[in-house]
Amino acid sequence: MSFWQALFMGLLQGATELFPVSSLGHAVLVPSLLHWSFKQSDPSFVPFLVLLHLGTAGALLVLYRQQWVEIVAGFFRAAIRGRISTPTERLSMLLLVGTLPAGVLGVFLEGPIKRLFASPYEAAAFLIVNGVLMLGFELLRRRDERRAAVDKAPRLEQEERFADAAQITFVAAALVGACQALAFLPGISRSGVTIGGGLLAGLRHQEAARFSFLLATPVILGAGLIEVPQLFSGGVPVVEYVLSAVLAGLAAYLSARFLLRYFRSGRLDPYGWYCIAAGAVSLALLHFAL
């Protein structure tokens, strides 16, 4: 992988990790469509991915630094007291409950699933599935808006009818967390399925995005930190990789800021249509070897 390819992959990963469009799908598809020859299944590629993920997790930590301080303090307060007293303490416990299924499924299923579905064809097909899922989540949300009789109201008013992240049930948090396992399939977006899961649990779009980003941070950070020793194996171009990670972090930070603003009134539909179009075009390009 050349220097510029590494920077490009960093930018691509950072930008697509938080958008509901699947970073893994894009990381499999784009190099293949550009006829780049590096093999992502190669063991030497792992340290690169580790640093990109640490860059993304770092961006999320910076974005939510104040909230994380409160969440961690709230977690210890509630854990020691054995009782939840504030919304922040409840959010900290919801994040723990949501992280556990993702961690269990990640440790035991991620490797086998990624090995089974690693080809660009599968990534393109799952990207279409991801698009259909996003449209499906919005279809169900519109049904909920009709039931709440707010379907004719302005978007901001519609959103006000739905809940904050700290108000969802623990079962819903566990299910949203478990949804992250779907993202081991290249083309299925982690943030997309968790935001969608949050919408099904009755969260506002912006709160669903916030819960998704908070939920992603410990998983991405934990998985990244544990692989750090691999960076010190011989032949790893650390400077090149670190620069890519910084770029990934910067792109992730700007993506998160944009998405949190967008989801004040925006929906998942544009990303759904994008995924369907990108998946279909990729399948055609791959099929005709263009």
Partner 1 sequence: MKSSSLAIGLGVLGIVFIVIAVLYALGVLQFFASTDTGPHYKHALLFGVLAIASFVAANFARPKTA
Which residues would be at the binding site for partner 1 (CB under 8 A)? 79-80, 82-83, 93, 96-97, 99-100, 103-104, 107-108, 111, 222-223, 226
Q: Which residues contact 57 (CB under 8 A, 6 or more apart)?
A: 216, 217, 220, 221, 224
Considering the complex, state which of residue 181 and residue 223 has its C-beta at the smaller distance from partner 1: 223
Provide, rounded to whole angstroms, the least separation between the CB of residue 12 and partner 1: 25
